[in-house]
């Protein structure tokens, strides 16, 4: 229910903001808006305002539209011709069309601005032991090193590190981490990035062997995934695990290693609950990670805030600085999205990176469970993606219409109706193909997980 509700809220916010951009600029340009619909298909509810605009809620919530007075879609009374969309100049029409994607970028800026002003909890970029033979291990990274910068950009949090490594993974070059160790010595760690495809299909930090440092934690259950193996087996929050298959477990990391090594195989746990010993048998579910089957039970450790305090911080800025950071983050995400799309088109990045509604719904649910700040950051990210997608020069999308208006400016006359019809068919085919790959990837991730 959390996932469904979070997905519906995501759709509602993004669609309303996008379509309201079209609506507002159309009104400013003197165009009469006949209908503002959230969703497609059969209208489920409607209300007519005093300006004659019908506000509607339709059956299929995967989008929306603003219907304007237009001679190409029906007869227009002579006294209303000056309010018809097609009678407006090319500049006004372009502004109305561009307003939707620009509203999505504005929404992202506002959301990031709010987050940066209010402050969000962040993890400091402290590194743990890298896996042997990984790029991080070969670069000489040691447990406890703190990352100060990536390729000259300052890094203040683990989230910053993740984003900067992701950006640099597209270049397939050397990634230089500026670090400091516990003794205060500075190092330049040069990591040879894996291929962009590999780094993007996997977690980019994981692909390089960059592991977040976690202080030693006792094997006490702090959180259980709903209907996960641990919860079904009878584990509860606060349970302390003493042994797994008669082998003593002293740290949470020990428990994780034993669970990962037993995908689909029953494990006998001896635990302590309220001072009483209990025996529990649990079978880790099988999960594919880097082509290898590992076990998971859907449990997280209880974390003492005092233990984690030295490794946590808060990202907070004054209003003007927060706005600057918000604009920069939105710009960087937009540029990254375009670069990713370009690389997919020329075969330098896999189409597996495309995501559809199932994956978006899953991420919406996960982010909502992570708290308000996590969900707001997710909304901002998806809003940027929606804005970029709609500006692509593909007929049926806003970018396709803008392409027609650019041609009209150059030639001095509108693009012929026949050409537009052909373009719409091509655009429909391209979008159908894009949706096919996105849904295919969604289903693969769903069944693989």
Cα distances from 290 to residues 63, 209, 234, 438, 448, in angstroms, run 35, 13, 30, 21, 12
74: β partners: none
Contacts 24+ apart (CB under 8 A), 144-148: 144/181, 144/182, 144/213, 145/179, 145/180, 145/181, 145/187, 145/189, 146/179, 146/180, 146/181, 147/177, 147/178, 147/179, 148/178, 148/179, 148/180, 148/186
Contact 180, 145 (CB under 8 A): yes
Pairwise CA distance, residues 325 & 159, whole Å = 14
Q: Which two tokens stand for residue 225?
A: 């995934």
Q: Which residues contact 82 (CB under 8 A, 6 or more apart)?
A: 30
Q: How far apart are CA 175 and CA 166, in angstroms?
A: 11
Distance CA(144)–CA(214), nearest Å, equals: 9
- Among residues 19, 54, 250, 290, the one annotated as catalytic is 19
With a CB cutoff of 8 Å and minimum separation 6, the contacts of 254 are 219
Q: Using N-to-C axis directions, what is the helix angle for 2-28 and 372-390, rounded to 10°?
A: 50
Residue 73 known to be catalytic:
no
CA atoms within 13 A on the CB side of 370: 15
- Which positions are catalytic? 19
């Amino acid at each position: 229910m959390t996932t469904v509700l979070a997905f519906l809220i995501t759709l509602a916010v993004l669609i309303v903001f996008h379509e309201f951009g079209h609506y507002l600029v159309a009104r400013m340009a003197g165009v009469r808006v006949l209908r503002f619909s959230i969703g497609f298909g059969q209208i489920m509810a409607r209300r007519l305002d005093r300006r004659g605009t019908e506000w509607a809620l339709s059956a299929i919530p995967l989008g929306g539209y603003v219907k304007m007075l237009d001679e190409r879609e029906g007869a227009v009374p002579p006294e209303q011709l000056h309010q018809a969309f097609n009678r407006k100049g090319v500049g006004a029409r372009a502004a109305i069309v561009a307003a939707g994607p620009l509203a999505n970028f504005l929404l992202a800026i506002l959301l990031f601005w709010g987050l940066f002003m209010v402050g969000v909890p962040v993890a400091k970029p402290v590194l743990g032991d890298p896996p042997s033979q990984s790029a991080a291990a070969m670069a000489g990274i040691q447990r406890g090193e703190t990352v100060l910068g990536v390729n000259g950009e300052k890094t203040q949090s683990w989230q910053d590190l993740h984003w900067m490594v992701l950006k640099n993974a597209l270049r397939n070059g050397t990634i230089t981490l500026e670090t400091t160790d516990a003794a205060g010595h500075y190092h330049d760690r040069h990591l040879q990035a894996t291929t962009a495809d590999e780094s993007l299909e996997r977690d980019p930090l994981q692909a390089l062997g960059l592991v977040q440092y976690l202080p030693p934690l006792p094997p006490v259950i702090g959180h259980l995934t709903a209907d996960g193996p641990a919860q079904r087996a009878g584990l509860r929050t606060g349970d302390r695990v003493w042994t797994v298959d008669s082998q003593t477990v002293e740290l949470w990391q020990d428990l994780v290693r034993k669970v990962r090594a037993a995908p689909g195989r029953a494990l006998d746990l001896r635990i302590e609950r309220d001072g009483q010993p209990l025996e529990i048998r649990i079978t880790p579910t099988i999960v594919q990670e880097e082509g290898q089957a590992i076990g998971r039970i859907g449990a997280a450790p209880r974390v003492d805030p005092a233990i984690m305090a030295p490794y946590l911080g808060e990202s907070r800025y004054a209003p003007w600085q927060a706005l600057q950071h918000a604009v920069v983050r939105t710009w960087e995400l937009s540029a990254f999205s375009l670069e990713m799309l370009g690389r997919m088109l020329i075969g330098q990045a896999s189409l597996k990176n495309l995501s559809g509604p199932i994956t978006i719904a899953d991420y919406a649910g996960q982010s909502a469970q992570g708290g308000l700040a996590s969900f707001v950051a997710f909304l901002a990210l998806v809003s940027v993606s929606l804005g970029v997608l709609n500006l692509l020069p593909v007929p049926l999308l806003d970018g396709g219409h803008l392409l027609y208006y650019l041609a009209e400016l150059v030639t001095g006359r509108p693009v012929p109706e026949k050409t537009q019809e052909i373009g719409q068919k091509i655009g429909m085919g391209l979008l159908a193909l894009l949706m096919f790959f996105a849904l295919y990837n969604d289903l693969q991730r769903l069944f693989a997980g």
